[in-house]
């Protein structure tokens, strides 16, 4: 490798190119701030996403204060409440989960798992992060402008989003739309990098079907995001035009407080279509990386090859494709043609088939596995259970006839929090525990990790199981207070208080996680090079944590898939991907019988 | 090896010694080319969605196509010429006729700048004609679509500038990369030209012209 200036670095060539140009940092600034190393960028993404995620967590506490103990906290006004739910939803879905899975795990894992030195375009990758950070700062700025952040609900439906009676209609909505546009621009830079790195920069021998499922998940989700985010961008820009220039793309003729506004002829439904054409693939932009990561975690910690690898890959791709033709199941109550509803209900239910296949395969991977019930495995098991629960309520809501009465109730809130909030977060946490030794070279405290898991997992159920019930009895979502509504039983008030207390406990329990991570970073035991005895390539780097360029002088050659566990005749219960057949250490007793060293799954 | 064959492989089967044919698993396409193609797909989707929005609005009576400034025809011609010039630059570079490539690149840049200036002037023309009321959805969409396209052309000009600079300096060791840069610029211009032609046709089609399409789509 040779030292070059940033201007010389166009892209890192494919793996066949012997000498690859990377920009090696020469100062603290280029090593930790404006850094082109994907691993540092990953940590920058992760830190920023976590920080803004904590803001969203505090906002959820404030919401729960109001819902659990109405009229007890006078500082929470109805308009504040709307602002809290809007910012909470938008931050969690876009700025936390999307950024964390793709910008965080994508950056850290793609080059390491495919055997590349870095992303294909390291400079663009760096810019991607700084644009993302700018988007986050613009979003935060909306909290400090007159009127505060928008309170239009996270779906930003017009006409409400830009009417002057909606909280945050002055600067809040403008800054949020600008922030979203910036986020999309930044993501596009990063996303192109992820896709090209997977397609063109894999090391020799790393065929597509030897890639770990984590990479398949991140890759497919990135393609989805690249195709879906333009819809949100178009919607955001058109809404900005409506708000700033007085166009009527989404604004119908409307009378507000007795005054006829100058808008007319626009279509609010058009915005809904654009939003959900992005919004539903967004669910899978979050879910697919989670599927991939959990597959790898289960395989490593159950010491078994992933069951049905090919079908798992195909299922990821099929789910990704189907996610583009289900968006209108979010719009059953928008007055759409019933035949449209039938079509979208059908496609929604079809998507359950490849998804269920994945759940079966995870379960069959565990079957007769040598399960190590450590923290990453606990989180993985928690994910499977939670995803099944959330998925089943999704089957309810996918049917028009059931969705209509449940629409806009707390049942929907409980459903999507289980499937898109709790389940992916369990994977994020499990993944951080799993790759923490690689990222820091240290081991975390296992006991603290297990406490963290049980409080988070059980606490999440204490929050969302009752929430399904209160939604089922008709409590609407987005309401500041339900007061003495006749059809809502009094017990709902007690349940709301209970849910709120559980929310505070689960939120506070995350301190265990941060304390564990921080303490272990400074005082943890050394992890060694491959503490989980994993077969995938990221654990086979010459240095832990991996240095810039990942692989030293030579790129690894890959001879097998990432799931060679329990290879007959081998000395160890795993064979890393870069070990040639002739170099596989054989067990002493069985060495005579199986000298070929061939792997059988 | 095509994508479908690749994802039909059975990676759990025993590995052969030596594992010949490592290189079959990568395409020979340079990463920048793959990234550009992906980006152009993203751009096409963006304009496709704008088209959907426009066509959706055409179902409503109040939408009237904007009057057609004659300058737009001239601008379109400029962009066609810019695309032709880049194709010339590409062909010349492949034949190592670098002075021709330089001329062609400069011509392409000048024509594109002329296109962008022309677009701005056509906005001015609309103002002078008294039609420039952005609250009219047709005008709003016209501004949005031409503006978005113009921004993409501006972005293209940055890449063009870097490419022209490379051609001027012409590092003998990096000639392949210089040729790839010209190829990429050419592809970008061609696609943005096609996008513009579609948008141009769309913006100046009367409601009646697209009636059949609207009926087929169930919009009208």
**What would the two tokens of residue B64 be?**
């009237």
Of all residues in chain A, the one with the smallest CA distance to B56 is A270
pLDDT tops 70 at residue B217? no
Query: Which residues 270-299 of chain A have a CB within 8 Å of chain B?
Result: 270, 274, 277
Helix H segments across A91-121? 107-114
Chain-chain contact of B42 with A226 (C-beta, under 8 angstroms): yes
Chain segment A85-100, per-residue pLDDT in tens: 999 999 999 999 999 9
Q: Which of B20, B33, B53 to mutate to test the interface with A (most CBs of A within 10 A)?
A: B53
Q: Which DSSP string corresponds to A259-294?
A: EE-S--S--HHHHHHHHHHHHHHHHHHHHHHHHHHH
Rounded to the nearest angstrom, the minimum Cα separation between B136 and chain A is 7
Half-sphere exposure of A579 (CA within 13 A, CB side): 23
B-chain residues near A598 (CB < 8 A): 14-15
Report angle CA A397, A79, A253 to the nearest 5 degrees: 75
Of all residues in chain B, the one with the smallest CA distance to A204 is B22
Question: Is residue A120 within 8 Å of B31, Cβ to Cβ?
Answer: yes
Instruction: Give the whole-angstrom CA distance, residue B188 versus residue B211.
Output: 32
Q: Does A153 touch chain B (CB under 8 A)?
A: no
* pLDDT at position A247: 87
pLDDT tops 70 at residue B62? no
**What would the two tokens of residue A322 be?**
């189907």
Q: Which domains does chain B have, with CATH numbers?
A: 32-216 (1.20.120.80)
B-chain residues near A12 (CB < 8 A): 31
Of B10, B15, B49, the CB nearest to A234: B49
A-chain residues near B25 (CB < 8 A): 202, 204-208
Chain-chain contact of B12 with A599 (C-beta, under 8 angstroms): yes
pLDDT tops 50 at residue B20? no
Of A248, A305, A598, the CB nearest to B137: A248
Question: Is residue A507 within 8 Å of A441, Cβ to Cβ?
Answer: no
B-chain residues near A561 (CB < 8 A): 11-12
Q: Which DSSP string corresponds to B57-99?
A: HHTSTT--PPP--HHHHHHHHHHHHHHHHHHHHHHHHHTT-HH
Chain-chain contact of B15 with A207 (C-beta, under 8 angstroms): no
pLDDT tops 70 at residue B18? no
Rounded to the nearest angstrom, the minimum Cα separation between A146 and chain B is 26
Report angle CA B202, B153, B120 to the nearest 5 degrees: 70
Buried b (16+ CB within 10 A) or exposed e, A261-293: bebebbbbbbbbbbbbbbbbbbbbbbbbbbbbb
Instruction: Give the whole-angstrom CA distance, residue A211 versus residue A199.
Output: 11
* pLDDT at position A212: 97
Query: Which residues 337-396 of chain A have a CB within 8 Å of chain B?
Result: 337
* pLDDT at position B220: 60
Task: State phi, psi for A3 to the nearest 5 degrees.
Answer: -75, 135
Of A227, A247, A601, the CB nearest to B137: A247
Query: Which residues 174-193 of chain A have a CB within 8 Å of chain B?
Result: 188, 192-193
Of all residues in chain A, the one with the smallest CA distance to B36 is A192
Count how many pairs of residues, chain A against chain B, have C-beta atoms within 8 Å: 155
B-chain residues near A188 (CB < 8 A): 39, 42
Identify the helix (H) or strand (E) that includes residue B32: helix B31-58
Chain segment A287-341, per-residue pLDDT in tens: 999 999 999 999 999 999 999 999 999 999 999 999 999 999 999 998 888 888 8
Q: Which of A265, A281, A555, A582 to mutate to test the interface with B (most CBs of B within 10 A)?
A: A265
Of B3, B31, B63, the CB nearest to A120: B31
Instruction: Give the whole-angstrom CA distance, residue A553 versus residue A539.
Output: 17
A-chain residues near B32 (CB < 8 A): 10-11, 121
Q: Does A249 touch chain B (CB under 8 A)?
A: yes
Q: Which of A197, A208, A236, A535 to mutate to test the interface with B (most CBs of B within 10 A)?
A: A208
Question: Is residue B99 within 8 Å of B192, Cβ to Cβ?
Answer: no
Task: State phi, psi for A162 to the nearest 5 degrees.
Answer: -115, 10
Of all residues in chain B, the one with the smallest CA distance to A317 is B7
Chain-chain contact of A563 with B15 (C-beta, under 8 angstroms): no
Chain-chain contact of A10 with B32 (C-beta, under 8 angstroms): yes
Of B14, B46, B135, the CB nearest to A262: B135
Instruction: Give the whole-angstrom CA distance, residue B125 versus residue B139.
Output: 13
* pLDDT at position B61: 54
Query: Which residues 36-65 of chain A have a CB within 8 Å of chain B?
Result: none
Chain-chain contact of B14 with A598 (C-beta, under 8 angstroms): yes
Query: Coil, helix or strand for A474?
Result: coil
Chain segment B108-167, per-residue pLDDT in tens: 999 999 999 999 998 888 878 776 666 677 778 888 999 999 999 999 999 999 999 999
* pLDDT at position A71: 86
* pLDDT at position B171: 78
pLDDT tops 70 at residue B216? no
Query: Which residues 308-347 of chain A have a CB within 8 Å of chain B?
Result: 309-310, 313-314, 317, 337
Rounded average pLDDT per 10-residue block, chain A, 601 residues = 40 45 78 90 97 97 96 92 97 97 97 94 96 98 96 94 93 97 97 95 90 97 97 96 90 90 87 94 96 97 96 96 93 87 93 96 95 97 96 93 93 96 97 97 97 98 96 93 87 95 97 97 94 96 92 88 91 92 80 46 37
Residue written as token pair 């819809």: A231
Rounded to the nearest angstrom, the minimum Cα separation between B81 and chain A is 29
Chain-chain contact of A230 with B31 (C-beta, under 8 angstroms): no
Q: Which of A4, A12, A224, A248 to mutate to test the interface with B (most CBs of B within 10 A)?
A: A248
Of all residues in chain B, the one with the smallest CA distance to A264 is B135
Chain-chain contact of B42 with A581 (C-beta, under 8 angstroms): no
Chain-chain contact of A199 with B27 (C-beta, under 8 angstroms): yes
Distances (CA, A) of A175 to A172, B85, B220: 5, 41, 36
Chain-chain contact of A10 with B12 (C-beta, under 8 angstroms): no
């Amino acid at each position: 490798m040779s030292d070059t200036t940033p201007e010389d670095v166009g892209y890192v060539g494919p793996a066949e190119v012997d000498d690859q140009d990377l920009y090696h940092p020469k100062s603290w600034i280029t090593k930790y701030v404006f850094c082109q190393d994907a691993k540092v960028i990953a940590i920058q993404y992760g830190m920023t996403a976590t920080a803004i995620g904590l803001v969203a967590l505090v906002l959820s506490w404030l919401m729960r204060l109001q819902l659990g103990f109405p009229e007890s906290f006078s500082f929470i006004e109805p308009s504040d409440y709307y602002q809290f739910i809007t910012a909470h939803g938008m931050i969690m879905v876009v700025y936390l989960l999307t950024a964390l899975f793709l910008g965080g795990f994508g950056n850290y894992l793609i080059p390491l798992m495919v055997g590349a030195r870095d992303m294909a375009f390291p400079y663009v990758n760096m810019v991607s992060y700084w644009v993302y950070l700018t988007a986050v700062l613009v979003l935060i700025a909306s909290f400090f402008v007159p009127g505060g952040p928008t309170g239009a609900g996270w779906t930003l439906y017009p006409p409400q989003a830009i009417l002057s009676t909606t909280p945050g209609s002055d600067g809040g909505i403008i800054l949020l739309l600008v922030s979203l546009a910036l986020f999309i621009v930044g993501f596009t830079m990063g996303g192109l990098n992820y896709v090209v790195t997977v397609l063109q920069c894999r090391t020799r021998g790393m065929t597509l079907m030897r890639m770990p499922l984590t990479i398949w998940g991140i890759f497919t989700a990135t393609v989805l995001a690249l195709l879906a985010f333009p819809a949100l961008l178009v919607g955001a820009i058109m809404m900005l035009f409506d708000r700033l220039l007085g166009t009527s793309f989404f604004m119908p003729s409307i009378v507000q407080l007795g005054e006829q506004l100058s808008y007319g002829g626009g279509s609010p439904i058009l915005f809904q279509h654009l939003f959900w054409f992005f919004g539903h693939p967004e669910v899978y932009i979050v879910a697919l990386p989670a599927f991939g990561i959990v597959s790898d975690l289960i395989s490593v910690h159950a010491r078994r090859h992933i069951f049905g690898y090919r079908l798992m890959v195909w299922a990821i791709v099929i789910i990704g494709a189907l996610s583009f033709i289900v968006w209108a199941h979010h719009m059953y109550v928008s007055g759409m043609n019933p035949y449209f509803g039938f079509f979208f209900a059908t496609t929604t239910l079809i998507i359950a088939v490849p998804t269920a296949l994945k759940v079966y395969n995870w379960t069959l991977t565990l079957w007769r596995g040598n399960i190590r019930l450590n923290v990453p495995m606990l989180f993985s098991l928690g994910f499977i259970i939670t995803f099944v629960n959330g998925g089943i309520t999704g089957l309810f809501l996918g049917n028009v006839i059931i969705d209509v009465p449940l629409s806009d109730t707390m049942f929907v809130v409980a459903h999507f929090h289980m499937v898109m909030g709790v389940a992916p977060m369990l994977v994020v946490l499990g993944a951080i525990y799993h790759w923490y030794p690689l990222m820091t070279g240290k081991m975390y405290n296992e006991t603290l990790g297990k406490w963290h898991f049980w409080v988070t997992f059980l606490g999440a159920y204490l929050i969302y199981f009752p929430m399904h019930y209160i939604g089922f009895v008709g409590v609407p979502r987005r309401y500041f207070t339900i007061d003495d509504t006749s059809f809502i039983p009094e017990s709902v008030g007690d349940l709301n208080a209970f849910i709120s207390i559980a929310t505070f406990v689960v939120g506070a329990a995350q301190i265990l996680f941060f304390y564990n991570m921080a303490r272990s970073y400074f005082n943890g035991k050394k992890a060694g090079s491959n503490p989980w005895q994993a077969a995938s390539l990221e654990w086979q780097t010459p240095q832990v944590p991996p240095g810039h360029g990942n692989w030293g002088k030579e790129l690894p050659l890959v001879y097998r898939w990432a799931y060679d566990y329990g290879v007959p005749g081998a000395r160890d219960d795993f064979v890393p991907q870069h070990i040639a057949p002739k170099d596989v250490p054989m067990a002493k007793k069985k060495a005579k019988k199986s000298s070929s060293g061939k792997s059988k799954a | 090896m095509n994508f479908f064959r690749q994802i039909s492989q059975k990676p759990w089967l025993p590995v052969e010694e030596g594992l010949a044919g490592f290189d079959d698993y990568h395409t020979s396409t340079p990463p920048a080319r793959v990234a550009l193609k992906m980006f152009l797909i993203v751009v096409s989707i963006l304009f496709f969605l704008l088209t959907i929005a426009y066509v959706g609005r055409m179902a409503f009576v109040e939408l009237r196509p904007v009057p057609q400034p004659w300058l737009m025809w001239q601008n379109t011609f400029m962009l066609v010429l810019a695309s032709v010039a880049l194709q010339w630059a590409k062909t010349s570079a492949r034949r190592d006729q670098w002075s021709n490539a330089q001329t062609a690149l400069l011509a392409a840049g000048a024509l594109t700048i002329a296109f962008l200036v022309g677009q701005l002037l056509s906005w001015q023309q609309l103002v002078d004609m008294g039609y420039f009321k952005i609250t009219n959805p047709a005008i709003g969409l016209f501004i949005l679509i031409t503006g978005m396209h113009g921004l993409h052309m501006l972005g293209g000009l940055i890449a063009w500038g870097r490419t022209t600079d490379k051609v001027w300096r012409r590092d003998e060791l990096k000639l392949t990369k210089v040729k790839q840069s010209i190829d990429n610029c050419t592809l970008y211009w061609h696609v943005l030209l096609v996008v513009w032609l579609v948008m141009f046709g769309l913006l100046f089609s009367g409601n009646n012209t697209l009636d059949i399409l609207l009926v087929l789509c169930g919009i009208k």
